[in-house]
Structure 1
């Protein structure tokens, strides 16, 4: 048997335009989600956090996952997540059902920049160092062509070392640029899902202890469709 396929996915947990209570739920969901990730031996890296207006809350968080069978694992999480409980900020509030979303970012952009997309230009270093620094073209200006992002590195007298540093810094800047471009798209996606799927959560949690509530999914529509398809096949 061959080695299992290891792949990478990026997900975002978001409160959309929900109130502070939803941002609190996002922070709680992140804890449970990462606990589940660790139990499955999946590597994760938090790429971006957007804090909520209240302490210990998150409007959104973007997480990169790396491991086996990610699609199967995420199938239990992707969609609308419901918390049933009393507001931690407005105890007298009548609302008891709060919704957030967990979605995979299905964008073609790759967060790992490719060497073929970078151009390097040697230039003379500037600043203290006397004549030696001015005569040697050791500084490196690196440009990521797809995003037009640039960095200038003159940390070392070694051109080779400056190229390595430049690529690392370019990676950091490009990741920030890509995350910013993804945020608005994911928010729009979440607003659509919020309207469509409030009544069909993939996960339900209850109470201030955030105890998981097992839900039984009903597949009545799918069964009816399969029965109709089978009936049509028999009639043909």
Structure 2
């Protein structure tokens, strides 16, 4: 039913574009025949809208991978840079959550681990919506930030790194992912970071170990032990799906990219909030 719904959406989209273009052509021909120039502005606006819709639909055609239409599980790990890298993880988390919210995509925070002084050591989000994994898969890699550190009293420039990992979410009945209860080891511990007395004093955090593969997943976001276990299972199933792909076709790099250390020389994108050289100290630069 999910596949049927996606196909129906695609068919309706292209039929709608075809009908829209046909109407514009007919209106244009009629205006030329009658010499009516009053509709020129209206035709210009509607043509631009049709062109934008077409460009968006053509972009969706490129997202034809086997998992591009699935929700994405996005994990951000801090790298070199100390406290600034933790703050960078929190900034990236907000950036991706904002992107999803702007596009009316559902966002669920699956796990967060707080830094010692500020920010996050790691965060995991599940982002849904049409072709979520297809769009976010391009974000895999090391992201570099250059700025004046707000944590340095001397106000020196600091470079920090974070690694973004994106996995396709595994569906409940996915035949490629089978998790047996005998293959799981479950541990409970107290969560760290802010969240109130219940989070810090009750063993609500969950650590799942998949014994056959050695994959370990930790979740401590929620106050409910049951909820944390559910989130951890979702992350584990996504990791197992990626692992099955690696074993079967050596395509893990296409799913989440090569594992590289988050440091100099490995970044895929740099964000510079301060110039290397400034000609006018009174004006901020980018």
TM-score by structure 1 length? 0.51
Q: Is the 8 A contact 1:43 1:67 kept in 2?
A: yes
**What pairs with 1:9-24 in structure 2 (closer than 5 Å)?**
9-16=72-79, 18-24=81-87
Q: Distance in 2 between matches of 1:94 and 1:21?
A: 12
Q: How far does the alpha carbon of each residue in 1:119-168 deviate from its partner, in whole angstroms, 9 at most, with x for none?
A: xxxxxxxxxxxxxxxxxxxxxxxx83442669xxxxxxxxxxxxxxxxx9
Q: How far does the alpha carbon of each residue in 1:75-119 deviate from its partner, in whole angstroms, 9 at most, with x for none?
A: 55332222221111114275432221222136xx948588xx79x
Task: Return the structure number with greater strand share.
Answer: 1
Q: CA RMSD in A?
A: 4.2
Q: Is the 8 A contact 2:73 2:125 kept in 1?
A: yes
Question: Would you say 1:173 and 2:232 are equivalent positions?
Answer: no
Q: Which of 237, 249, 271 is residue 204 of structure 1 equivalent to? A: 271
CA separation of 1:53 and 1:113: change in aligned 2, threshold 3 A: farther
**What pairs with 1:31-180 in structure 2 (closer than 5 Å)?**
31-55=94-118, 57-75=119-137, 77-92=139-154, 94-105=156-167, 110=170, 112=172, 144-147=181-184, 172-173=228-229, 175-176=231-232
Q: Distance in 1 between matches of 2:184 and 2:171?
A: 12
Q: Distance in 1 between matches of 2:172 and 2:163?
A: 26
CA separation of 1:20 and 1:67: change in aligned 2, threshold 3 A: same
Q: Distance in 2 between matches of 1:12 and 1:50?
A: 11
Deviation at 1:170, TM superposition (A): 6.4
CA separation of 1:111 and 1:15: change in aligned 2, threshold 3 A: farther
The runs of at least 4 aligned residues of structure 1 exceeding 4 Å deviation read 109-114, 168-172, 177-182
Q: Distance in 1 between matches of 2:72 and 2:145?
A: 25
Higher mean C-alpha deviation, range 19-28 or range 8-17? 8-17
Q: Distance in 2 between matches of 1:65 and 1:189?
A: 22
Higher mean C-alpha deviation, range 27-36 or range 86-95? 86-95
| Structure 2: gaps spanning 5 or more residues | 1-6, 11-67, 188-223, 244-255, 275-285
Q: Is the 8 A contact 1:77 1:203 kept in 2?
A: no
TM-score by structure 2 length? 0.43
CA separation of 1:7 and 1:148: change in aligned 2, threshold 3 A: same
Q: Is the 8 A contact 1:149 1:174 kept in 2?
A: no
